[in-house]
Amino acid sequence: MGAFGLLMLSAFTSVLAGGPLSLKREQVNAAYQAAPGECLNWEKPDLSDAQKVDCSAAHKFEVTGTADITGAYPKEAPFPQPDAWEKIAQDNCAQAATTYMSGKLDPEGKYGVSTLNPDEKRWSGGYRQIRCGLQVTAPSGAALPSFGSAKSQDQSNVYDPGVCVALGDKNTVGDPIECAKPHVFEIVGVVQHPEGPFPADAAQDAAMLEKCAAIAADYTGGADLKAKGLLITWDNRSEKSWAVGSRKANCKVGAPPQGENLVAWEGTVRNPNGAPLTTSNPPQTTSVKPQAEPTGAPLHSESGQPPSESGKPSDSGKPDKPSSSAPATTTETR
């Protein structure tokens, strides 16, 4: 499952009071006006406060292009169902994302293909334009903050040190969560691989084993993780990710799996007397909740990323099957 493998539906509410064809000088949601290369951010679950922001600041959507789907969906066409929206996004935005990224979109990286679509009110008035974009999404499909244009970022699917990730459905890695709550991994650091030919898993394992041991010792203040029933683990990069320039991988601490099942635990292994964490971006330490139920507001379709191929025993997760949601308009202790 790659960058175009999954589309989920969520929504935001337009504040254009006069309707899709109104000539009144009402406030218009910025999402309907954003141009390629511009970034959008919002805080409200219904996206009604969406605003254009500098891409260097925290944002949840980077516009890669626009598409008019009137040819396939003339004015009399009924409002698309979720499956149809998924196909619309796939057909109209996948190539736009690849082109925007100069052909170098990591199929297993942190960015997923997304769309902002008209709601039923605009659709009934004949509005057929969608905006294509890129997002960083949690395994649940919820949008995570991104920093900097995707064009200039390492696309590796990594979290900052200090982030803990929950146990997801069906024995998968879930969303970022507070470390005081049950989680399967605590991120202790990020390794930057050097440039050069792609290293096979065995070579990556050897390098990560050494580097992650040193990183974990520094992060924990030399704690005996084995005595706590924990171990050091890490992620590997795939050859597909390496080919487009992804060079970062997480070191993390987790409980030994029980057979093939991940084990959740509580608390943090971080040295309380350690130096403050330094991260390139603010760490995503709070819970990320899936958006609320659909209300017929304008649709926002997301394409989540699957996890990259992991070293031991599991990778940072991303969605692995289609799911749909939309916002409303208004273990063990160690």
- pLDDT-based confidence at residue 101 (cuts at 50, 70, 90): very high
Percent of the chain with pLDDT over 70: 75
231: tokens are: 């171990």
Find the mean pLDDT for residues 303-309: 33
Is 200's pLDDT higher than 70?
yes
- Angle among Cα 189, 40, 22 to the nearest 5 degrees reads 165
Write down the mean pLDDT value for the chain: 80
Find the mean pLDDT for residues 150-174: 94
Tell me, what's the pLDDT at 291? 41
Per-residue pLDDT tens digits for 206-240:
999 999 999 999 999 999 999 999 999 999 999 99
Is 310's pLDDT higher than 80?
no
Q: How long a stretch of residues is the chain?
A: 334
Contact at 8 Å (CB) between 29 and 329? no
Tell me, what's the pLDDT at 276? 87
Is 16's pLDDT higher than 50?
no
Is 42's pLDDT higher than 60?
yes
Task: Parse the chain into domains and list their residue ranges.
Answer: 29-153+288-305, 160-283
How far apart are alpha carbons 75 and 79 in whole angstroms? 10
Residue partners of 37: CB distance under 8 A and separation at least 6 = 55, 62, 63, 149
E-only strand ranges, the chain: 8-11, 39-41, 51-53, 61-68, 111-116, 129-137, 143-144, 164-167, 173-177, 185-192, 231-235, 248-254, 299-302, 310-312
Tell me, what's the pLDDT at 32? 80
CA 127 to chain centre: 28
290: tokens are: 């899936």
Is 150's pLDDT higher than 90?
yes
Count CB neighbours of 40 within 10 A.
25
Contact at 8 Å (CB) between 141 and 319? yes
Is 166's pLDDT higher than 80?
yes
More confident: 325 or 3: 3
How far apart are alpha carbons 175 and 304 in whole angstroms? 12
- pLDDT-based confidence at residue 245 (cuts at 50, 70, 90): very high
4: tokens are: 């175009």
Tell me, what's the pLDDT at 331? 39
- pLDDT-based confidence at residue 164 (cuts at 50, 70, 90): very high
Percent of the chain with pLDDT over 90: 62
